[in-house]
Structure formats: structure tokens, C-alpha cells
Structure 1
Amino acid sequence: MLTDKKIVLGVTGGIASYKACALTSKLTQKGAHVKVIMTENATKFVSPLTFQALSRNPVYDDTFDEKDPKKIAHIDLADWADMIIIAPATANILTKLAVGIADDMLTTTLLATKAPVYIAPAMNVHMYEHPAIVKHMKQLDHWGYHFIEPGAGYLACGWVGKGRLEEPETIINVIESHLLEEQILKGKNVLISAGPTREIIDPVRFLSNRSSGKMGFALAEVAAHFGANVTLIAGPVHEHIQHPNIHRIDVVSAEDMYHAMHKYYPTQDIVIKAAAVADYRPKVVHKQKMKKQEGELVLEMVRTQDILQSLGEKKQQQFLVGFAAETTNVIENGLKKLKAKNLDAIVVNDVSEQGAGFASDTNKVTYINRDEHLEKIPLASKREIAKEILRRISRDLEDEFK
């Protein structure tokens, strides 16, 4: 998996820096091309000459040491890399990266790269558990950085606990496994809907719901990282997403979303309707603002078109997945929807439970395939939930063609 991969290894100033020497050697033995960037503090633990000998490449430790006047070194390295590994990653580098500080060769390269970044933390157990570090790691995870969790054991400071840099073999195994997983949706066309819809009453009022679109956007982002070509149909949300494999179309009403979904539906391999679409819309849309009147106001409502039902009726090669946000009889209602809408799978959750409702950064769901096999996915970030859902979709899709 690593043959001919161009890898930038960032080494920061911790006692675990010596393990980065073995990591450099093993990456090179795997056939990778390794270039090492060291922070100033890292050079106090290990000599740059050691990494130069192991990698057979110059070592970068000074932003202003331009080895080739035709190139800006940190930009050239950022563009050259297929991936960047930070091992060991100290509390200092995590904080700098999370808040966007670029004050040395490593941090400037990290801010300039579009390559995937793997972070292997190493620090004292209490530093690793400090709220600031936890917060920064969550931010980096949200941005798509990949963490290789430290091991637990005897630390150089004398404490025993989590914080020891993982062994080079483990770091390589994690990266190779991730590279394999990144291919599970390679070449697949994936259509995802996300967020709420708005049903207009008059120029200043509309009916909507509490959906933030976070789950659908997480699914789109992860699907793209897994190699899919993603079309994201988004209702009115504040979420932002940038990925070369994601084509975003913004819509407003249920009717808008209906037409957008059907436009792209015929060419899709996987379709996930995660949007919370309005079931009803006002029968009359007023062109002028409705004035306040005495007494009660009655709005006559009519049904919107059932997008998921219509997709199920036209399904051919598509693997169709629905979402069911419930508050009672969650599994029972999910199973009914699975059958009634001709779905291949459904993701159900109880939005009344803490951590699983609208606008939350976390979720916990149950994935049910058309064989009615139930798999509970426990509370986690919506990005992690998205990974688990897409892994199961990929597995079930493969089973169809066995």
C-alpha cells in the first residue's frame, strides 16, 4: 500500500522522537519516499543527520533555509506529499494546528497541504486528558485529520497511562488499513440529501424543522474520503463543505428537493435520503406579508410529494437508504418504513434521546438492512456515525453481487 507513496514525516520535540527514526526506516523499507521535517525542539532529541541517513533525503528544519531557489520549500513539500504523518505529535503541535499557527517549517507546511494528515500523539497522560488538548483534537478530527491513538503504559515522565507513542509497526498498519478503507466506495456515484426544507407562507414567513444538515454533510464528506463521487442536495443550512469529489446543489422547498433528487437519481449507485423534508406545505403562498388580525389564524395545508416513496418506486440499480427520526416505537416504525418505501436499508434514531437529536454534533443510530438485520451504532460524533453507516452500506452492496 505504501510503495512509491510520497510521505512527509513531521517530527516534534518529545522523548518519543527516537521512535520516528524506526518509523522512517520502516516506511523506506516499504518502498515509500520519505522527507522529514523536524521542529527546532525535535533536533534536541535526535540529530537531523540521523533522519537524512535513514530517508536518503535532506531534512527540513528551517522555514527560511530554501534549498532550491526556484521553489518555496514549505509549499513545494505541501504539494509533493501524498500524505503527512506527525509522529510524535506533542501537545504544542496539536494546539498550533488547531488554531492555525504557522511559525516554523512544519506548521507552515501543514497549513499549506491538501494531503491527508495522520497524527500520532505522544505526551504525559494528564496533558493528553487536558480539556484544551481534548478540544483541539476534536477540532482536528472534525476537519478530517486522522488520529493514531497513543498506547497505554509506562511513560518517560514516570507516570503509567495513555500517552505513549504507538510503535512504528502499528502506525504503519493503521495507515495501510485506512488506505484500503478509503477505496471502499471508489468510483461509486453517491447521492445524498441533507438538512431541512422551507415551505413558504409569505415573503417573510416559512414552515421548517430543526434539522441542521450535520448528519447528511458528514455522510457526504466521509463518502468522498472513501473515494465516491458525491452529489449533495442541501436544504437551507449553515454547514460548509469543500471536497473536489463533492458537487453541492442548494435547494429550498420540498418540491425543489424532489426535482433535484430525481434529476440525478438515474446515474447513482447509492442514494441516501438524510434530509428532513416537510410533509406538508401551505396550499396558498401569499405574495404580500400577511398582516396580524384579531382572533385565530388557520392555514390550509396540502401534502408534499413523498421523495423517498417515489425513489423506491423507480429504483433500478440504486442501493436506496432512508432515515427515520422517531420519538416512539423507533425500530417498529423504521421497519415499516423500510418495507413501505422499498428501501435497501434504513437508519433510525430516537431524536428525543440526549446526544441524538437535531443540531447535535453527536448521534446514535440503528442500521437495518432489507433482511431486517439490526445493528446498533453507539453514541459518537456524526462523522464517526457516517463512517459506520457507509461501511455497512458498502458491505451490503457487495453482498448483493456475490
Structure 2
Amino acid sequence: METSQRKAGPLDGLKVVELGQLIAGPFAAKTLADFGADVVKIEPPGAGDPLRKWRLLKDGTSIWWQVQSRNKRSLALDLKDAQAQEIVRRLASEADVLIENFRPGAMEGWGLSPDALMAINPRLIVLRISGYGQTGPYRDRPGFGVVAEAMGGLRHLTAEPGRVPVRVGVSIGDTLAALHGVIGILLALQHRHASGKGQVIDVALYEAVFNCMESLLPEYSAFGAVRGAAGSALPGIAPSNAYLCSDGGYALIAGNGDSIFKRLAAVIGRHEFATDPELADNAGRVAHVERIDAAIGDWTAARTVDEVLAALDKAGVPAGRIYTVADIAADPHYAARGMLESVRMDDGSEITVPGVVPKLSATPGGHRRNAPLAVGQDTDDVLREVGLTPAQIGELKARGIVGNKT
């Protein structure tokens, strides 16, 4: 859809200042930008956000950058300089939200603490994302998503039993923290509607992971149970596992509903399972999970993934294949849902990027502009908006306090 055809997003008019870099803070700001917020991303002059050089590069810039920084404007500022800090204060005085993901104390060291900024603008909402939060004995430790995933309890579970715990393959700790931060911002905006006042949102990476760990803690509290790695199975829920098929692929089968299990039993030709009172509910099936898994595995081993999925789909049993990104890119459902969005780059080439979620019927999000190609690409426009003259901007550029468009 062309930019001119898009409806205004639900956050149209919301002004956001992004001081973070890499993943957690920028992902939160990206989510707001996707739904209409005007996000000014502050980058250090020169190299800019390190994410610009992460993973695979196209014409010297990360393809990831095109997703993480779409719909944003880039302002290059040296935050260690007093004049740059004054520019941040000007931006904050007119902003609705400020996002930062530096180590605790960095903002205070620059004279940009939430208290100082909210004294200028009491309506300001400040999202602070850090490894361990702004308080507590670990607050000053450096914390990345991978460490948070381990401390939050996730890494202990992501393994085959008896083997080294592995990461999930993406920076899930950072992303979970970002999404919790967005939730916090939306809650704070609702509070501001009623009170007229902003507030500080303190998100710790490890807490965002821990918040998604389901019954892990109460099970330990009540029973002393320490959940361990279970590979592809879902502990305490049966049957739910990955089963090897004749073509070497795996089918994920979730037959753990009582009526679903009966339909699954019929499909695999084990009708005695459907009538066995010991397998009528989840507790009984968990007690016999090895026998059930073996029977399902015998059935899948004689069929290809496509044959398994076709039979289970016909019977109404939830099942699926393990997608690679090539599978995703070719999938008609992804395409029909607008999740494979073609974007024309500044050089005229096209790339496919993930579409916007969630889907809103009246005020959907969308891709309004590409990620800023140059560090500080929008510096002049942003500085003029906060009252600086061309002469003042030129002086700041000459001194290296703000970045030139390159």
C-alpha cells in the first residue's frame, strides 16, 4: 500500500525520543513507530547505532536495520557534550515518550535523569530498559539478552535432556523486554489521560523473560519441583511433541485435548487409546506419555511430513511442520495476512520484510518510510523543529556535536 493511502495510525501525533541502541529500546520504539508515532532516533555521530553493521549487510548497511529502524528519523548527537544534552532536553520538553536502554546511571551522568526531564515536562513518559533494572544489587552489572534469558529461567529449559542448554536462535530476551516496555507505555498513556502526569517505566530484561515462565516458580514453591529440559516435548502435557517422519522431517503434533486425543488415536489406528479410561484425561496420558509417543512415532515414521499433516488436518488434530525462513517466504497464509511486505530500497531494489503486528481493523500500522540510510539523515529537520537556526546547526556540525548527513 502506498504511503498516501495509509490511514493514520492509532499513535499518530505521539512524539517519541529514542536514545537506545541495538535491540531492546529500538524494538520498543519501532513498534510505536509502526502505529504512527513520530520517533526521533538519536545515534552517535559517525558509525551510528551498532546494529547498522550487525549480521548480513547490503551496500554496507545491515538488512536488519531496515526492519528495526523503519518509520524513524535519525538525529546524530554526541550525548557526552553539554550542548547535545541541551538538545535532548528540548526534545524531551515537547515529547510524549522517551526510551533509553543504557546501563543504569548513564542518563544521570549526562544530566538527563527522568527526574530532570520530567521537571521540564511533567507529562513525559520515560521507558528505561536494562539488564537487571534500575534498583537492586545487580543494577550496575552489564546485561545482554542472552544473560537475561539464562537468569530468567529460559535457558535452563532449552535443551535436550542431559545436553548443553542452547539459545533459541534470536534475541528473545531483548524482544520480550521491548514488548513489556510498549505495554508499560500504553498503560502510562492511559494514566496520563486521567491525571495529566507522566511516569517512569522500569523494565529489566531478566524480568521480562521470567514473566513468561508460566508455572515454573509456583511449582517449585508448592512441590519443590525444578523443571528441567525436555527437548521438543511439553512437560506435563501429553501428547505434544515433534515426531520424525519417513522423509527425515518432523511433524509437530499437539493431541493434548481430551477429544482431540481420541481423534488422533483414530488417525494412527490405535482405537484402544480412545477407549482406555487411563488415557481419558491429561493426567493419565502424562503417566503413559512414553507409550503414546512411541505409538505416534511409529505411525509418522512410515509417512512423509506432508502425508502426516494432511491426515491430521482432515481429522482436526493440531499439527504443523517446522518452518525455515524459505518456507515462510513461500507460504500463502503469510502472504494473505500481509506478513511478507515488499519494500523498495533507496537504491531501487526490493527486499521482503515482516509485516506489522498486531492487526487493527480501524487503525492498522504500516510502513510509512524506510529506515534512515545515513546516520543523522534527519538532523537538520529535527533541530529546526526545536528552534535551532541554520547558523547554530552549522556551528554544532563544525564542532562534531551533531552529525552531518552522509
Question: Shared topology, TM-score over 0.5?
Answer: no
Greater RCO structure (CA 8 Å; 6+ sep): 2
Report the TM-score, using the length of structure 2 for normalisation: 0.30
- Indicate the structure with greater helix content: 2
